[in-house]
Each structure stands twice: as structure tokens, then as C-alpha cells.
């Protein structure tokens, strides 16, 4: 049609402009043959947006930004990058919620996966998301945000099982890492909850993969830090969506009692649903952090609790956080089920706080605080986060050295701590975890501020992160970074350990020119 002709002409023009203005080193004929339907933009505001991320610590502008209309578009773009004499890089950007520029690239094109323009699959396939009620799964676009996945499945009374604490993250972005929250002890991380993927490899091939089909690629991509392909579609298993959530917190002053209880609760994963919690997390309170905790305003204003009333000697406190899902029809038994579980725990008497809310409100809890922080200008600030997987056998040493040592009594943000069961993680995926049956996530979710208080500055917090890593290294605590950030291939090889040879081999197989996700700084492009 005329419209298609006009679009193609405009696109050709855009590509020429790109070549002229930014010197993208591709042969013009190759790009003209691209024939994509999406929009390739060299607009400064598009490029600036793609140069930013949540961390606000790394800033790299791409040569161009691509808004794909389909998976086919992405395949054509990557084919052009792979096949061209000089080459250019291609980085998928989910929602840009990385901390260290992982979705950025300076020698090529950022593909904006989120946003309405990317939801059509092409090849005459139906629009996504698409819920298959009988089969119990949903097909979603790789750039879809989890909040939108949830909204679409809830229309059918269904929901995914494994979550992240925050839902404004893309499916492709979390599946490239692991995707963890308090459900992981029971259901495994999000990468253990995927039936099938459509992936565009670094050669531009569009392949469907699963346990049965192209299984090497399937496992490579899960937790693969974007190194092997761009996820354009994911098939996610669903369960009947619970209606409500009972959300409980309880305090501990003794770390070993706290971890004993957390480990007990996650050991119940094989039990019937009525005999375990649905979510187990926890956090560390080294100052008046609860009151400033952006993750949730649980304790206030409905529960105006003074932490000092539990913390007379000013030591470190630990807060267990659990939930139980239920439906109005089972509301009668929920109290007894919770009571039976709480009876087995040793938290400080009178320190139990309970709230009750709709399932969606619980899952979307962090967003409320995002809105609040944004209104105070406290969201778009640097985030020197540090996420660690610590082996169970050394978590007490970590407590002594870090929570009760290095931190002093300042944190600049929440510190999460919760254990997970390794047997819920598939060892064939690319992600690496400590070599023990149980390991803890410890997450320092800090915000740096430009204030006179030196302990809140980016420099101070970054230095403290290094101190924590050095302490663990010196103490022989064999941890792994989650959402890892390393800058040399040697460090990456160390990070992957036993899995490095396989990771490297997979890279040579699926992205031999190292075009994809160069912002992770694992491989240098071969041009
Ligand atoms: P981006 O930052 O856009 O991309 C991350 C990496 O994945 C990049 O290398 C990118 O190239 C690659 N990538 C993106 N899309 C694709 C794709 N479709 N195919 C292949 N590769 C792709 N994580 C948890 O596990 N649990 C949590 O509870 C949690 N809470 C968070 C809360 C906040 C406020 C923030 C900012 C982050 C949180 N995270 C959490 C971390 C989050 O999962 C990762 O940062 C994730 O990478 C962000 O997703 P994104 O869509 O923004 O990805």
C-alpha cells in the first residue's frame, strides 16, 4: 500500500541520515535491504533516554535507537549487524532498570523492547499477551513489563507464580538475570518458570526454544545476561490467582535465631500449601531504616511502631517477612494455618505486625513507594546497589563482618536478606549461585544523595560496597554477585567458575561476533 511504501521510504531516509550523521559503519545496501517496519531513530532525545539507567552511574549514548514492530524486525536488524563488513553492536533494553549500564552500548543500536510498538509478533501471529486458559500459560512479548503481564492474566483469574519485588521490570530483563522474590524458595526463580522462548540470536536467527527444542539455547538464554540472544516472546506458566494476602512481619534481635526460622520456613517447600507460607523474605535494620524504608510503608501510618521500643541497646535488628495467599472462600481456615506456622517460630514476643490486602496490591507494593519517592525527587538519584548470593554456611560470618561491622549504623536504603533452595534452580541455565543447598540473597538497595552527610554520598557508598566484597574475599566467603557487575574477562571467568567454559562456548555458538549486550562488559565485539 501507499502507506507501507511511504514508511519504507521514510525508514530508508532515516538510515541514510544515520549513516551520514553518526557514521554507523554498515554498508548502505545492507541496511536498505533491512526492510523493517519499526522505527530507527537518531533523535537526540531517544538516544539520551537509551543512555540512562536506574543506577545513574554509567551513561553511554548509542548511535541509534530502534523501536521494533515485531520479532522479525529485530532479526533483520541483528542480521545486518552480524553480516555487515564492519559490524555494529545491538543491545536490547527492557525497562533500563540495570544499575551499571548493562543495557547500554556506544558502538551501535539500542533496541527499545518495552512500549506498545513492540507487541506484534509479525509472521501473521496474533498480538500479545495471549492467555491460554486451559493450558495454563501466557505468551508475552519480551519487552512486556511484569505489571502488564499480571493485569492481562488477572482478566482470566490467573497469575504467574514467581515474581520480583517490583513489577516495572521487563520479562526479557528479569529472565536474563534470574528474577527472584519471596516465592523463589517454593517455585524457584522466574527462570525456573518458563515453558518456551522465542529468541533472536547474535546471528539474527529467530528460533523457538524450550526443554525439548533447541534446549541448549533455551538454557543459555535463561540467566544469560543478554549474551546469546534477544528474547522476543516468553511462555510463562500460570496458577489460579489468589484474591487476598495476609502479610506478616516479626522482629528478631538474634541473627542465628532469625536465620534458623527463615531456613525452617523454606524447608517446608515440599509440604501442602496449607502448611507453608507463600512468600518468605526478611530485612536488616541497622538504624531507623524501617521508617525510611522505601520498599513499603508497612509500619506506618497504620502501625505507628517505634523500633527503639524493641531495640533498647541500639543493636542490629532483623525482620522476618512472610505472606499467605487466600481466597474469600478459604478465609475461615487462614487464621489457624498462620497460627500453626507462627507457633514454631522464635521471634520477639509482641513484635508481630499483620496487614491484609488484595493480591495485586501486595505484588505491586514497591510501586506505591516509587510514586512517593518520585514526588520528593528521591527516585532519580544514583543507586550503588550491591546484590549478593551468600552461602548458608557463612551467613553468620557475613552478619558479624558486615551488618554488625562495616555498615556502622547507616545504610542509605533497605537491606534484604532471605534464603533460597538451590534445587529449585536449574543448573543447566547460565546463572551461577553458591555451591550449597541453601544460599541467601543479601541486597543492599541504596540511594546516594548529594548532601553534606558524607555517609550518604555516592563515593562513600561505592567505597563501602568494595569494602564488603574485599571483606568476603579475605574471609574466604565464596559468594556470587546477583545482577553481577565485573569489568574484566578474568573477573567474569572467576564469576562463572566451573560454568565459564560452557558460557564461552555458548557465546561462540550463538553470538560469535559478540554483538549483543556489550554493556555487560563480558566480551568485546570482534570489530
Ligand atoms: P534492562 O536493565 O533494560 O536490561 C538488563 C540486561 O538484560 C541488559 O544486559 C539487556 O541488554 C538485557 N535484556 C533486556 N531485555 C532483553 C531481552 N528481551 N532479551 C535478552 N536480553 C535482554 N531483580 C530481581 O530479581 N528481584 C527483584 O525483586 C528486583 N527488584 C528490583 C527493584 C527495582 C526498583 C529495580 C530497579 C530492579 C530490581 N531488580 C530485581 C533487578 C532487575 O531484575 C534487573 O535490573 C533487570 O535487569 C531489570 O529489568 P529491565 O527490564 O529494566 O532490564
Ligand 1 pocket: which of 57, 89, 90, 103 to mutate (most atoms <8 Å of CB)? 103
> Residue 29 has what pLDDT?
47
Q: Are 279 and 427 in a shared domain?
A: yes
- Residue 109 pairs in a beta bridge with 64, 90
Q: Is 492 inside any structural domain?
A: no
Q: ipTM of the predicted structure?
A: 0.99
Q: Is 69 inside any structural domain?
A: yes
Distances (CA, A) of 485 to 49, 380, 503, 521: 22, 21, 16, 8
d(CA 100, CA 384): 9
**Are the CB atoms for 233 and 138 separated by under 8 Å?**
no
Q: Is 105 inside any structural domain?
A: yes
d(CA 112, CA 172): 12
| Cβ atoms within 10 Å, residue 256 | 11
Q: Is 519 inside any structural domain?
A: no
Domain finish residue from 240, 272, 302: 240
- Nearest-CA residue for atom 25 of ligand 1: 179
DSSP letters for 2-50: HHHHHHHHHHHHHHHHHHHHH---S-HHHHHTT--SSEEE--HHHHHHH
Q: Which three cell numbers stand for residue 287?
A: 538504624
| Cβ atoms within 10 Å, residue 185 | 27
Ligand 1 pocket: which of 171, 172, 230, 386 to mutate (most atoms <8 Å of CB)? 172
Q: Are 289 and 406 in a shared domain?
A: yes
Q: Are 272 and 327 in a shared domain?
A: yes
Q: Are 232 and 260 in a shared domain?
A: no
> Residue 6 has what pLDDT?
56
**From ligand 1's centre to the CA of 329, what distance in Å?**
36
Please list the ranges in the chain whose pLDDT falls under 50: 20-21, 23, 25, 27-29, 31-32, 289-292, 294-297, 300-302, 304
> 433 by DSSP, 3-state: which?
coil
Note the residue count of the chain: 527
Ligand 1 pocket: which of 66, 73, 97 to mutate (most atoms <8 Å of CB)? 97
Residue 171: CB within 6 Å of ligand 1? Answer: no
Residue 173: CB within 6 Å of ligand 1? Answer: yes
Q: Are 332 and 475 in a shared domain?
A: yes
Q: Is 491 inside any structural domain?
A: no
**Are the CB atoms for 178 and 190 separated by under 8 Å?**
yes
**From ligand 1's centre to the CA of 294, what distance in Å?**
19
d(CA 77, CA 39): 11
> Residue 137 has what pLDDT?
98
- Find, among 227, 233, 234, 231, the residue nearest to 506 by Cα: 227
Residue 325: CB within 6 Å of ligand 1? Answer: no
Residue 165: CB within 6 Å of ligand 1? Answer: yes
**From ligand 1's centre to the CA of 54, what distance in Å?**
10
**From ligand 1's centre to the CA of 174, what distance in Å?**
5
CA atoms within 13 A on the CB side of 75: 15
- Find, among 522, 389, 386, the residue nearest to 466 by Cα: 386
> Residue 412 has what pLDDT?
87
Residue 90: CB within 6 Å of ligand 1? Answer: no
CA 68, distance to chain mean position in Å, is: 22
Residue 214: CB within 6 Å of ligand 1? Answer: no
| Cβ atoms within 10 Å, residue 241 | 18
Q: What is the DSSP letter of 233?
A: E
Q: Are 278 and 404 in a shared domain?
A: yes
Q: Which of the residues are catalytic?
A: 97, 165, 281
> Residue 97 has what pLDDT?
98
Read off the CATH number of the domain in which 99 is found: 3.30.43.10
Residue 226: CB within 6 Å of ligand 1? Answer: yes
Helix (H) or strand (E) holding 492: helix 489-496
Residue 142: CB within 6 Å of ligand 1? Answer: yes
95-128: per-residue pLDDT in tens? 999 999 999 999 899 999 997 555 555 556 678 8
| Domain enclosing residue 31, as ranges | 2-115
Q: What is the DSSP letter of 340?
A: H
Read off the CATH number of the domain in which 232 is found: 3.30.465.10
274-284: per-residue pLDDT in tens? 999 999 999 99
**Are the CB atoms for 181 and 279 separated by under 8 Å?**
yes
d(CA 249, CA 324): 12
**From ligand 1's centre to the CA of 330, what distance in Å?**
36
d(CA 308, CA 288): 8
| Cβ atoms within 10 Å, residue 485 | 21
- Find, among 441, 474, 448, the residue nearest to 57 by Cα: 448
Ligand 1 pocket: which of 70, 73, 92, 112 to mutate (most atoms <8 Å of CB)? 92
Residue 414: CB within 6 Å of ligand 1? Answer: no
**Are the CB atoms for 23 and 49 separated by under 8 Å?**
no
Binning the chain into helix, strand and coil, the percentages to the nearest 5 are 35, 20, 45
Q: How many domains does the chain have?
A: 3
Q: Are 223 and 262 in a shared domain?
A: no
Q: Return all residues near 391 (Cβ < 8 A) that are at least 6 apart.
A: 434, 435, 436, 439, 440, 477, 478, 479
| Cβ atoms within 10 Å, residue 397 | 15
Residue 60: CB within 6 Å of ligand 1? Answer: no
- Nearest-CA residue for atom 31 of ligand 1: 166
| Cβ atoms within 10 Å, residue 252 | 24
**From ligand 1's centre to the CA of 32, what distance in Å?**
32
**From ligand 1's centre to the CA of 193, what distance in Å?**
16
> Residue 430 has what pLDDT?
98
133-153: per-residue pLDDT in tens? 999 999 999 999 999 999 999
Domain finish residue from 225, 240, 255: 240
Q: Are 440 and 314 in a shared domain?
A: yes
Q: Are 334 and 236 in a shared domain?
A: no
**Are the CB atoms for 61 and 45 separated by under 8 Å?**
no
Q: Is 25 inside any structural domain?
A: yes
Q: Is 227 inside any structural domain?
A: yes
**From ligand 1's centre to the CA of 323, what distance in Å?**
25
Q: Are 249 and 218 in a shared domain?
A: no
Domain finish residue from 215, 240, 265: 240
Q: Return all residues near 452 (Cβ < 8 A) that are at least 6 apart.
A: none
**Are the CB atoms for 42 and 64 separated by under 8 Å?**
yes
Residue bearing cell 500453626: 340
Structure pTM? 0.93
Q: Are 148 and 200 in a shared domain?
A: yes
- Nearest-CA residue for atom 33 of ligand 1: 166
Please state the atom number of ligand 1 nearest to the C-alpha of residue 165.
28
- Find, among 180, 170, 191, the residue nearest to 429 by Cα: 191
**Are the CB atoms for 158 and 133 separated by under 8 Å?**
yes
Q: Is 67 inside any structural domain?
A: yes
d(CA 477, CA 481): 12
Q: Are 366 and 420 in a shared domain?
A: yes
Helix (H) or strand (E) holding 258: helix 255-266
- Find, among 146, 334, 137, the residue nearest to 244 by Cα: 334
Read off the CATH number of the domain in which 354 is found: 3.40.462.10
Amino acid at each position: 500500500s501507499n502507506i507501507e511504501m511511504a514508511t519504507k521510504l521514510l525508514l530508508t531516509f532515516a538510515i541514510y541520515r544515520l549513516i551520514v550523521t553518526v557514521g554507523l559503519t554498515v554498508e548502505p545496501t545492507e541496511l536498505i535491504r533491512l526492510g523493517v517496519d519499526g522505527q530507527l531513530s537518531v533523535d537526540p532525545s531517544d538516544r539520551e533516554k537509551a543512555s540512562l539507567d536506574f543506577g545513574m552511574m554509567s551513561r553511554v549514548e548509542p548511535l541509534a535507537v530502534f523501536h521494533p514492530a515485531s520479532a522479525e524486525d529485530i532479526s533483520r536488524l541483528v542480521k545486518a549487524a552480524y553480516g555487515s563488513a564492519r559490524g555494529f553492536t545491538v543491545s536490547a533494553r527492557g525497562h533500563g532498570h540495570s544499575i551499571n549500564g548493562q543495557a547500554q552500548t556506544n558502538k551501535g543500536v539500542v533496541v527499545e523492547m518495552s512500549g506498545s510498538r513492540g507487541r506484534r509478533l509479525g509472521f501473521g501471529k496474533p498480538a500479545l499477551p495471549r492467555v491460554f486458559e486451559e493450558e495454563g500459560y501466557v505468551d508475552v512479548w519480551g519487552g512486556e513489563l511484569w505489571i502488564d503481564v499480571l493485569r492481562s492474566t488477572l482478566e482470566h483469574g490467573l497469575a504467574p507464580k514467581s515474581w520480583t519485588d517490583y513489577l516495572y521490570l521487563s520479562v526479557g530483563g528479569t529472565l536474563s538475570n534470574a528474577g527472584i522474590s519471596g516465592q523463589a524458595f517454593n517455585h524457584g526463580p522466574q527462570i525456573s518458570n518458563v515453558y518456551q522462548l522465542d529468541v533472536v540470536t547474535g546471528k539474527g536467527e529467530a528460533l523457538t526454544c524450550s526443554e525439548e527444542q533447541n534446549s541448549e539455547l533455551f538454557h543459555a538464554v535463561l540467566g544469560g545476561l543478554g549474551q546469546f540472544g534477544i528474547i522476543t516472546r516468553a511462555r510463562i506458566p500460570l496458577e489460579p490467582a489468589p484474591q487476598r494476602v495476609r502479610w506478616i512481619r516479626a522482629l528478631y534481635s538474634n541473627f542465628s535465631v532469625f536465620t534458623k526460622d527463615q531456613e525452617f520456613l523454606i524447608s517446608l517447600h515440599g509440604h501442602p500449601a496449607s502448611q507453608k507460607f507463600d512468600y518468605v523474605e526478611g530485612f536488616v535494620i541497622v538504624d531507623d531504616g524501617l521508617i525510611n524504608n522505601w520498599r513499603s510503608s508497612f509500619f506506618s501510618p497504620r502501625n505507628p511502631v517505634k523500633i527503639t521500643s524493641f531495640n533498647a541497646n541500639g543493636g542490629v535488628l532483623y525482620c522476618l517477612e512472610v505472606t499467605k495467599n487466600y481466597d474469600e472462600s478459604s478465609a475461615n481456615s487462614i487464621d489457624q494455618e498462620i497460627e500453626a506456622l507462627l507457633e514454631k517460630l522464635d521471634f520477639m514476643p509482641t513484635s508481630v505486625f499483620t496487614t491484609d490486602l488484595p493480591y495485586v496490591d501486595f505484588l505491586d507494593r514497591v510501586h506505591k513507594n516509587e510514586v512517593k519517592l518520585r514526588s520528593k525527587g528521591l527516585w532519580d538519584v544514583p543507586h550503588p546497589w550491591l546484590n549478593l548470593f551468600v552461602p548458608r554456611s557463612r551467613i553468620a560470618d557475613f552478619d558479624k563482618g558486615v551488618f554488625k561491622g562495616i555498615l556502622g549504623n547507616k545504610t542509605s536504603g533497605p537491606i534484604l536478606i532471605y534464603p533460597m533452595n538451590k534445587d529449585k534452580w536449574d543448573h543447566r541455565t547460565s546463572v551461577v549461585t553458591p555451591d550449597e543447598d541453601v544460599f541467601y540473597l543479601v541486597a543492599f538497595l541504596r540511594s546516594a544523595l548529594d548532601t553534606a552527610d558524607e555517609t550518604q554520598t555516592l563515593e562513600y557508598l561505592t567505597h563501602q560496597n568494595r569494602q564488603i566484597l574485599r571483606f568476603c574475599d579475605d574471609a574466604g566467603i565464596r559468594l556470587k554477585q546477583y545482577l553481577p557487575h565485573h569489568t574484566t574477562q578474568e573477573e567474569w571467568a572467576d564469576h562463572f567458575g566451573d560454568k565459564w567454559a560452557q558460557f564461552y562456548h555458548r557465546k561462540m555458538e550463538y553470538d560469535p561476533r559478540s554483538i549483543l549486550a556489550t554493556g555487560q562488559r563480558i566480551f568485546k565485539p570482534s570489530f
